[in-house]
Structures are given as C-alpha cells and as structure tokens.
Structure 1
Amino acid sequence: MNRTFRRLMAISVMFLTACTPVPQSSFGGPTLPTRTMGLQDSLPPMRSFAGNRVITPTRSNREVGKDFMDLSFRMESGRPVTRLTRFEAPVTVRVTGDVPPSLTPDLRILLGRLRTEANIDISMTGAQTASITIEAIPRAVLNAAVPSAACFVVPRVSSWEEFKTVRRTPTVDWTTLERRDRAAVFVPSDVAPQEIRDCLHEEFAQALGPLNDLYRLSDSVFNDDNIHAVLTSFDMLVLRAYYDPALSNGMTRGQVAARLDPILSRLNPAGDSRADRPRNDTTRSWIDNIETALTAGSSPASRRNAALHAVSLAGAMNWDGPRDGFAHYALGRLNVGYDSDIALSAFNQALRIYNRSPETRLHAAHVSVQLAAFALSAGDGDGDGAAVLSLVDGAMPIAAAHENAALLATLMMFKAEALEMTGRGAEASAVRMDSLGWARYGFGADANVRARLSEIASLNPLKGI
C-alpha cells in the first residue's frame, strides 16, 4: 500500500497563479515585495495540532459493515484477500533513519489515539526489533525505488535494506500472509511536517488493518482522494472492530461477516438506528479515468478528457457524493489556466454536491480554496471582499477540526487579502501572521511558506501586480 502523489485535493495552491498573469519566481509563484507579504526576516514559530479526536457523522452499521468487508478482503488492485490478518497484542513500534523533529511527537499522538479510540495495545520501543518499524528516508532515495509513492508500507520486513532485497518477491505480498508479525512503513524525511504526519496516519492504519482504499468513502483516510489527512472516528471504528476479540487471525470473509454485525452494534450502537443508504461499487472504468486525470504522464488534453469521462460516468451511475464531487473537482482543477469558465463551473458544481451532506464538509472546504481564488482575482465583484470572506470563514473551522494545517493556512491567507480589500489592514496583518505558524507545519520550508503567501497575494487586483 502507498500514499501516492495523486493528491488533487491536496495542499498546494501553486496552480492558482494560472488565473491571472503574474511574474514568476523560482518557486513557481509571483515575485512580490516584502511589504506585500507582511513578513519580517524570520517567520513565527511553527504551530501544530494536539491530536484531538476527529469526529465524522455516524453512519448506518449496515453501511459500515459493507465498507469494513470491502476494505478488509480486497486489495486496491481488486485482488481478493482470503483471510483476515492482524498483529497480536502488544504491538510495538520503533523509529529509525533520518528522523525529522516533527515525526516522533506526531507519532506519539497517533499511538495515543489508537490506544484510546481503537483500543489497540500499541506503544513505542527502543528495542532493535518491533512489530512495526518506521524508517524515514530522503524523498529522492524513496522515489528512486518507488517513483509513484509518497510513502508506503510493506509486510515481513523491518528496514529499507531488507525491503530492497525482497521487493520483487512474494515476501512482500500481503495476500500470502497468515498473520502479521512484522511490517515497515517508509516515509520521506525531508518534506513538510504535515506530509510526514499524513503518511504516518494512512500507512500506519494499513499496517495494522484494512489494505484497500474505497473512493466511495466520504469520511476516511481509506480513500485515494486523500481528502482526510488524519484518522477519523470512522477509521478508528473500523480498526477497533478489526482488533475486536471476537475476530482472529486466519478468519475467512464468511467467518468475519457472521460475527461483524454484533461487533458493530456493541461498538457503534447509534449506527443500528441509522437508515441504510445502498451504494454501488465504484466501476473500474471510473477509477481508470480518475487515475489518468490525476497522474502526470498523459497529455493535458488526455487528462482533461479523462476527468470529463469520470464526470459523465458518475452521472450515469447516479452517484451523489464523494465520487461525483471529486470528478467535478478534477475537471475544474485541470481546466484552471486552460478554460476558466469550465473550471469555475466545475468547482461550483463540486461545492453544491459536497454541501448536500455533512459527511463532505471537509471536501467542500477544499473546493472553497479554488472558488476563493476566482473571487479574489476577479476583485470579488464589487471589490468588498464579501464573497471571499463568506467562503473562507465557513471553511476555516472545518480545516482546523480535521487538523489540516496547510488548508487552514491557505484559507487564512485568502482571508487576509479579503480583509485588505475592505480597508481592514490591521485585521489582515494579524490573520496573515497567524497563518504563517500553520503554514510552516503544512508547507515546510520557509521558502515554501513565502511562495504560497506570495501566490495568494498576487491574485489581489488591488495590489496592482
């Protein structure tokens, strides 16, 4: 399993400069005077989250049960997983490699949540061996071996050197496991703290439990749209059920299915009274089109056409939720800088789709970034900043609740520009400065933070750039 670079909803806003012609710097963003950025020689200290529970709406246990089974007994490729495998308690974790300062604190927070919310007996160890080894490796080294992966997890190994030796053998085939004894999570050591943390959450969850990702999920890191950055209450429920004493290593799909209903009723009693909403499986054709749209390698025209096909397929299947909204978002993203009318229409439709359900509020917050860029670059119609403020003020609390510092910082940067439009310069400066601590966690290097701030500022027509 791996967290790929197909992060269309992700934190970068570099493409926003395509909305308006601006001079480019070496970072891919505009070159702006320091006074416009509102920065001194140094940035404020990095901010980070405490690791609170990320609560998503309770769904029907029938829905959760189907999701559990599809996540647990199928690989992303569609290959069946014939038996349930998991670690036997206690689970130990060690960290090796070029460990960045943020990794261990974020890992401790994650392990604490797993103990509290998923009821898994898991802890760090200083021993030379552990159930799960996390090795931090320079991104260039990691990508030289696995070009498409931002990070990934493999079974039966405990080091990068061991992985390189067995990478093309059945040793690292998850479907051959009888139980889980060892696994290694490989993360980049030289990227933004948030990217490292996101890798920890997704890959750690799959090291412990289900191996599949499902595009239909609106409330989970087990989804290739990568909307959710940290484990949600749904994910913790799945992991808690996965490690429930009523289940054990080696159980078949049928054996797990026979025991799952009472497990979920006990762990999630509110789900028994929720109405079931049948959802059909995601077609291979839709997945192929989305992957073509999101993956570099195909021509821009081919990627735009693939996104359009994904929109059409979602409509034909009567999907109304994360898949339909994501297809529209992809279409909009790929038309920025090519056809602004199509891009804006697609973003607006994605927002309408996502706003229909509380389960996709975070998705809507991501789309709000794109719409704020259009509103800001257009002078917000009458230039009063109201549209931008409306978009970002509703999205900021959601970004914070879901612990997405990059998204939160980006929204705050847009808010600062909108406040300047209204002549509220002191408020704008305070919001902009507050955004920088979150941006350092979300974007990493100071140069990246300054570039993002400059890109957004360049969209403000009142600055005369």
Structure 2
Amino acid sequence: MSLIDQTGSKTDRWSVSSVGQALRNTVRKVWMIPVCVALVACDTGAPQEPATRAAVPDTKSLRAMKTFGPTRPSPPMRSNRDMTRDFLDLAFSLESGRDLNVFTRFEGPITVRVTGTPVPTLVSDLDRLLARLRNEAGINVRRTNSSQANITIEAVTRAQIQRQLPKAACFVVPNIDKLSDYRRAKHNKATNWGLLEKREKLAIFLPSDSSPQEVRDCLHEELAQALGPLNDLYRLPDSVFNDDNVHTILTGFDMLMLRAYYAPELRNGMSRGEVAARIPGILARYNPRGQNIAARYPSATPRSWVKDIQTALGPGTRPAQREKAAQNALRTAEKAGWTDHRRAFSHFALGRITQSSNTAFAKQQFQIANRFYSQTPGAELHRAYSASQLAAHAINEGNAKAALSLVNPQIPVAKRYENASLLATLLLLQAEAMDMQGRATEAHAARLDSIGWARYGFGADWVIRAKLREISALSPRQ
C-alpha cells in the first residue's frame, strides 16, 4: 500500500512508494516479489508465451482450482517494545514521512458490502477475512447488503481503476462509495487522509478481471488499511504493512496491530503522545509473550534506499539505470550495517535485475539474500522466494538433487502463508527436478498438483501454460 494523489501512482508490482502532494488516497502496488524463475529477463508486463513443449497438461486439468483451508498465522515473535514503536509509526505517519496529527478509526460495529462485478472467489475470501478479523483482532465487523455499509468494496475492471490512477491495482478512499464519484471527490478535503478526524465511510476498489489471488491480496491490504494503519514500513519482516509486498494475507503481527487499534483505551482524535502512553499496556495485555523478548530496535530505513529500490524495480527505467540504482541500494544497506531482510532484499533485487545479463553474479546475489533471510526472524516466506530462484539455477545446471533440497522445505511454507502462485511455482520446480531424476510418476503428480494452485494464483489458462513451459525450459534436457 502507499499514499498518493492524482499526480502519482504505482506502475508495476515491483515499484515502491510514490507520494503525491495531497496524499488523498491509498493504492496497492501493482507489483510484489514476482514468481519469476527463468534464467532470462523477467518482464514486468504480461508474460509472453514461450516455445511449446509436448508435455503440457490438457485444458481440462487447468480448470480445477484449489483453495486454502483455515488460516494458521504465526504469532509475532518480536519484543513488545519494538512493536510499540511499530504501532506508533504505522498509525501516525504516511508513507511520505508526513506526520498525522490524530488517531482515527471506526467506532462501533462495522459493516462491509460488495458491489460491482466481483470474481467468483471474492465473497468467500471476504467472509474468511472478516471471520479472522472478528476472531483474531476482536473487531466487530460483518458483511451486509445494505447501501449504508461503512465500507463498500466495488469490483471494477483494471482499466476503470487505471483511468483514475494509472497502473494501480486497487486502492481505498475515504468518504465515497463508488468509483464514478472519485474523479470529482479526489479534490475535496473529505477524501484527504491527512485531514481525516474519524472514519465512517470508505470505498475499496478491486479488480474484477485479475486472478483470484491478486484480488484476495488487494482485499487483505486495502481492508486492513481501511480499518487501521495508513503507513508501510520496510523494517517489518512479518507484515503486509511493508512495501516489499512479500506477505499477501494478514499475518499474526498485522492482526495484533489491528487488535490494538481497536482497544477500548483508544479513541478518535487522540494525539501520538496520548496513544504512546496507552499502547505498551495494550500490547502487554494482548501479547504477553512479547514482554519477555529482547528488543532489537531496528534502524530506520533511509529515504535514499527507498528511492533507489523504487528506481531499480519500478517502471520506465532503462536496464543500466536499474542496475545502478540496485547497486546504490545495496551500498546503503551495507553502510547501514543491516543484516536483516532489508539487506537480503537489496541482494535479491540486484540478482533479479542482473539475471539475464550475468547469470553467475545473479546466482551469487540470491545466495547472499538467502543467507540473510535465513537469519532474520519472521522472514521464512522471503526465503522461499530466494530458494525458488536458486532452485531454478540448480535445474539449469542439471543438479536435480540440489534443486529438490531447496524447493521441498519451502512448499509447506508457501501453503502456510497461502501464496498459491509461489506454491504452484515451487511444485513445478519440484516436478522438473523429479523428471531429471527419472521419477516420472512423482513428477506428473506434482505438476498436476501445481495446476490447481496455479488456477487460483495465476488465473488465466494461457498464463498457467506459459509458466509450465517457462519452467520446463530450464532443464538442460530441453
């Protein structure tokens, strides 16, 4: 999520914060850590159909969509002292660094309705999320069909969204309830988050023509922001409130933040100082284990690093500029002495950018990223991404055993974090490695399993076929 106005927007799912002057609305980035593993350039646009391979499952197989069961989030494993600072920085700042003067939230029961033309999975995904918000965050929220709902989720086409905010995937705005009102309303004070004094009515605009996972990911981010924090912090390894967009569903940390947001001690109009006096006690009550964990006090993230990451992974930048910006971001991370997920992300970004021009160097960057991720609490999902890249290199080098040792431990991680696109990719890598070992029956089973998850994660049949062919092309046998 990020805060912008009509002068700025997200361009692809790997760009980072872009902040407009009035900071009137919030928008989900069209990018995230991509599930892109081929040792060729990974375009930020739609994937192109590569050369065909004979062993591509038939169309009927592509129709069987898999979905996840009950969510089992990991509890936050950080100190309450660190999370006190996190709460205050999330609640009282916008991504631009601009401070918010007062605390705002909904008061009383909250109702949510769906309008427009939603994808078939949206309502069920929303009901699952609302149940989690009630059970894990203690928020009195339910779905309704009433036109007087506090939050309206309108499903519209990507083209409609991008006519309002070019290249945005989805966004949330206060004090309107339909997209047709946005162009006129965005110049009003009522839709300026920085001037908001309380939350009564908001609208979330989601795509009606994206994959089920993309819609669900938007739903989680935008509804969380509609209810709670407006800021994102790169220092958070275990949260959707982070512009690296690794986490796609609300985590245990996120639910704790939202539970604290709606604690009875807090109310609309409180200053940062007033909330700061109460939040330690609130966290001690809701997260007693955090009282006995030593604080890490991670350093702030310099704006220069954020700008370089934006340049490296955002749109409209030439390859040489991308690589230079990624190198600058890495130097900043090294100078800051980081050993956490931000240092790892710097290496990961550089590896992605150099993947097609210097394969050996890119592999080295993924290895370093994997090492830093492995020593960062709460970064196991991040590590699954770096492992998928390294597994692709292992397959390309003909080392099936190494590929399986990288992929197999990450499959349950992707399942636990309900990332179907990553899960499908890991299963396809597993299948390719098994084929290389002559384990054709097991490979076929893994490949079929991957397709059901790909149907949720990637959506369209042609995208699934392209992913199948992309990964099969990694093998030296091809």
TM class by shorter-chain length?
over 0.9
Q: Deviations over 1:111-136 (max 9, x none)?
A: 00000000000001111121111011
Output the CA distance in 1 between the equivalents of 2:474 and 2:41: 8
Q: Is the 8 A contact 1:17 1:29 kept in 2?
A: no
Q: Give 4+ residue runs of structure 1 displaced > 3 Å after superposition.
A: 38-42
Query: Shift of residue 27 of structure 1?
Result: 4.7
Q: Is the 8 A contact 1:368 1:392 kept in 2?
A: yes
Output the CA distance in 2 between the equivalents of 1:74 and 1:352: 32
Asked if 1:47 is matched to 2:66, the reply is yes
In the other structure, the counterpart of 1:83 is 102
Q: Secondary structure at the match of 1:37?
A: coil
In the other structure, the counterpart of 2:144 is 125
Asked if 1:92 is matched to 2:114, the reply is no
Q: Deviations over 1:65-119 (max 9, x none)?
A: 1000000000011111111100112000010111110110000000000000000
Distance 1:423-1:300 versus aligned 2 partners, 3 A rule: same
In terms of fraction of residues, the more helix-rich structure is 1
In the other structure, the counterpart of 2:319 is 300
Query: Shift of residue 6 of structure 1?
Result: 3.6
In the other structure, the counterpart of 1:433 is 448
Point out the more displaced range, 75-84 or 158-167.
158-167
In the other structure, the counterpart of 2:202 is 183
Q: Secondary structure at the match of 1:333?
A: helix
In the other structure, the counterpart of 2:378 is 359
In the other structure, the counterpart of 2:418 is 403
Q: Deviations over 1:44-72 (max 9, x none)?
A: 51001124132144210001110000000
Q: Within 5 A, what are the aligned runs for 1:1-80?
A: 1-7=26-32, 9-11=33-35, 13=36, 16-18=38-40, 27-33=47-53, 35-39=54-58, 41-80=60-99
Q: TM-score, normalised by structure 1?
A: 0.94
Unmatched runs of 5 consecutive residues or more in structure 2: 1-25
Q: Deviations over 1:198-218 (max 9, x none)?
A: 000011000000000000100
Q: Deviations over 1:129-153 (max 9, x none)?
A: 2111101111111112211421111
What code does the residue aligned with 2:398 have?
Answer: G
Q: Is the 8 A contact 2:234 2:242 kept in 1?
A: yes
Matched residue count: 450
Distance 1:270-1:196 versus aligned 2 partners, 3 A rule: same
Equivalent residue in structure 1 for 2:401, among 369, 386, 398: 386
Query: Shift of residue 300 of structure 1?
Result: 1.1
Q: Deviations over 1:228-264 (max 9, x none)?
A: 0100000000000000001011100000000011100
Output the CA distance in 1 between the equivalents of 2:84 and 2:167: 31
Q: Is the 8 A contact 2:77 2:378 kept in 1?
A: no
Q: Deviations over 1:292-321 (max 9, x none)?
A: 111111211111111111111011111111
Q: Is the 8 A contact 1:405 1:441 kept in 2?
A: yes
In the other structure, the counterpart of 2:23 is none
Output the CA distance in 2 between the equivalents of 1:126 and 1:256: 34
Q: Secondary structure at the match of 2:329?
A: helix
Output the CA distance in 2 between the equivalents of 1:225 and 1:203: 15
Query: Shift of residue 43 of structure 1?
Result: 2.0
Asked if 1:105 is matched to 2:124, the reply is yes
Q: TM-score, normalised by structure 2?
A: 0.92
Output the CA distance in 1 between the equivalents of 2:110 and 2:440: 52
Distance 1:224-1:67 versus aligned 2 partners, 3 A rule: same
Q: Secondary structure at the match of 1:460?
A: coil
Output the CA distance in 2 between the equivalents of 1:239 and 1:162: 29
In the other structure, the counterpart of 1:23 is none
Q: Secondary structure at the match of 2:267?
A: coil
In the other structure, the counterpart of 1:338 is 357
Q: Within 5 A, what are the aligned runs for 1:408-419?
A: 408-419=423-434
Output the CA distance in 1 between the equivalents of 2:132 and 2:87: 20
Asked if 1:217 is matched to 2:239, the reply is no
Output the CA distance in 1 between the equivalents of 2:187 and 2:408: 49
Output the CA distance in 1 between the equivalents of 2:94 and 2:41: 39
Q: Is the 8 A contact 1:61 1:271 kept in 2?
A: yes
Query: Shift of residue 10 of structure 1?
Result: 2.7
Output the CA distance in 2 between the equivalents of 1:19 and 1:246: 52
Output the CA distance in 1 between the equivalents of 2:189 and 2:338: 37
What code does the residue aligned with 1:5 have?
Answer: V
Output the CA distance in 1 between the equivalents of 2:436 and 2:390: 17
Q: Deviations over 1:156-198 (max 9, x none)?
A: 1111012121123322111111100011111111010000000
Equivalent residue in structure 1 for 2:473, among 445, 458, 461: 458
Q: Is the 8 A contact 1:392 1:415 kept in 2?
A: yes
Output the CA distance in 2 between the equivalents of 1:255 and 1:32: 62
Output the CA distance in 1 between the equivalents of 2:128 and 2:348: 32
Output the CA distance in 2 between the equivalents of 1:90 and 1:41: 44
Q: Is the 8 A contact 2:77 2:377 kept in 1?
A: no
Q: Is the 8 A contact 1:43 1:446 kept in 2?
A: yes
Query: Shift of residue 460 of structure 1?
Result: 1.1
Q: Deviations over 1:386-430 (max 9, x none)?
A: 011011101111110000000001000000000001111000000
